[in-house]
Structure 1
Amino acid sequence: MSITLNDQDALTLRLAAWGAVSLMSAAGAAGSAHKAATHGSLALTAATGPVGHVITKTPKGVKYGKTVAELADQVLPALTAAVNLLKRQDPAEAGNFRRTVIVAVEAASRSHQGEPGPTMTEMARKITEALDAA
């Protein structure tokens, strides 16, 4: 089964995926934000399938806001919306998207030495919860 996404749908997927990496980067410890963003971004650009073709590009023209709360207000609902729209067209691609975002979140959280801190752990939980809300 293939998926058909209009421009708005593709933007939603990109905003959700890249925004999840941005949230993890923002939740990282001082000095590790760049590493978190790099590791998470590498995971997104390694995505495969129809989802991979869409999210390999960063979203253009998106204003994420000035605070982590403003970023989360956009990204967390976009994660749920992305999974919902993919489920309607191809449940396997919805699963692919979810796994891709989870891998990116895990890559971002492992970008520093030791275990992820409580802030990153909590952000990862919120992202997973948004993915599973669909």
Structure 2
Amino acid sequence: MSVALTDQDKLTLRTAAYGAVTLMAAAGAAGRPHKAATEGSVALYSATGLVGHVLAEKSRGVNLNGRSVAGLADHVLPALTAAMSLLKQRDPAEADNFRGTIMVAIEAAARTHQGEPGPTVADMARKITAALDAT
């Protein structure tokens, strides 16, 4: 099935995906945020299917600026929920693909910390997962 997404739909998916990685990097700011961002981004670039094609496009218009992690989360967490809702309506298999892609990205970002992720990173991963599952 070929799903047509508007430019706004694609922007929502990219904001959600890249925003999730940005939130993970911000949560691990005391550790290695650049490595978290790199590992999470590599996971996003490895996506396949419609999601992979959307994430591979240039990310014009994605606004991940925020004065705080809270400000960024206020923008990204609803985008994650909206992306899942959009994909569930149009192509449930791509919704599963998107969720899986985000989960791999946040796991990759969390693994950049020595040993187990710290409580701040683990909490951010839970918030991202909750936003994905809120639909």
Normalization by structure 2: what TM-score?
0.95
User: Could you say which residue in structure 2 is the equivalent of 1:103?
Assistant: 104
| CA distance in 2 between partners of 1:13 and 1:86 (Å) | 9
Does the alignment pair 1:14 with 2:27?
no
The letter for the 2-side match of 1:26 is: A
Q: Aligned to 1:127, what secondary structure does the other structure show?
A: helix
The C-alpha deviation readout for 1:54-84, integer Å capped at 9, x for no partner, is: 0124632325211101100000000000000
The C-alpha deviation readout for 1:75-109, integer Å capped at 9, x for no partner, is: 00000000000011100000000000000000000
The letter for the 1-side match of 2:132 is: L
Q: Unaligned stretches of 5+ in structure 2?
A: none
Tell me the CA shift for residue 112 of structure 1: 2.0
Tell me the CA shift for residue 2 of structure 1: 1.9
Q: Unaligned stretches of 5+ in structure 1?
A: none
5 Å-filtered alignment, 1:26-41, equals 26-41=26-41
Tell me the CA shift for residue 31 of structure 1: 3.9
User: Could you say which residue in structure 2 is the equivalent of 1:121?
Assistant: 122
| Residue pair 2:84, 2:99 contacting (<8 A) in 1 also | yes
Percent identity for Structure 1 against Structure 2: 67
5 Å-filtered alignment, 1:58-97, equals 59-61=59-61, 62-97=63-98
| Residue pair 1:76, 1:127 contacting (<8 A) in 2 also | yes
Computed over aligned residues only, the root mean square deviation of the Cα atoms, in angstroms, reads 1.1
| Residue pair 2:19, 2:64 contacting (<8 A) in 1 also | no
Q: Using a 3 Å threshold, how does the CA distance of structure 1 residues 58 and 125 change in structure 2: closer, same or farther?
A: farther
Tell me the CA shift for residue 3 of structure 1: 1.3
Q: Aligned to 1:111, what secondary structure does the other structure show?
A: coil
User: Could you say which residue in structure 2 is the equivalent of 1:48?
Assistant: 48
